[in-house]
Amino acid sequence: MAERSVTIGWAEGLHARPASIFVRAVTATGVPVTIAKEGGNPVNAGSMLGLLALGAQGGESVVLASDADGADAALDRLAQLVQGGLDELPAA
């Protein structure tokens, strides 16, 4: 299983607008991804409700994971998005 541990770069954490950006980015990868707070239970990273329930704040660490084909490239791109607090998924 591929994993990336990243610090959330959005000051407001994974709430509202950043969560929406992240869900769209996960969906765009075509790879099933989970996200969890360090030591917490993973949730579907493509689920807006799952992300909001996670309650991840800016500056907290989260773990992105997937065991699907293409997971490494997808997780690298998603990690850049989360860590950088970007408004869109980086180009491949």
CATH number at residue 10: 3.30.1340.10
Position 89 in a domain: no
**Residue 65's domain spans which residues?**
2-84
CA dihedral 92→88→36→48, nearest 10 degrees, is -130
Q: What is the mean pLDDT of each run of 10 residues along the chain (92 residues)?
A: 96 92 94 95 96 95 97 96 85 66
8 belongs to the catalytic site: no
Residue 78, pLDDT score: 96
Sheet arrangement for strand 34-37: 2-7, 61-66, 34-37, 43-44
The reported pLDDT for the residue numbered 92 is 62
∠ at Cα 38 (92, 24), nearest 5°? 35
Whether 91 maps to a domain, the answer reads: no
64, 68, 76: which is closest to 31 by C-alpha? 68
pLDDT for residue 30:
95
Out of 9, 15, 52, 80, the active site residue is 15
Residue 16 belongs to a domain = yes
- Is 8 part of any domain? yes
The domain tally of the chain equals 1
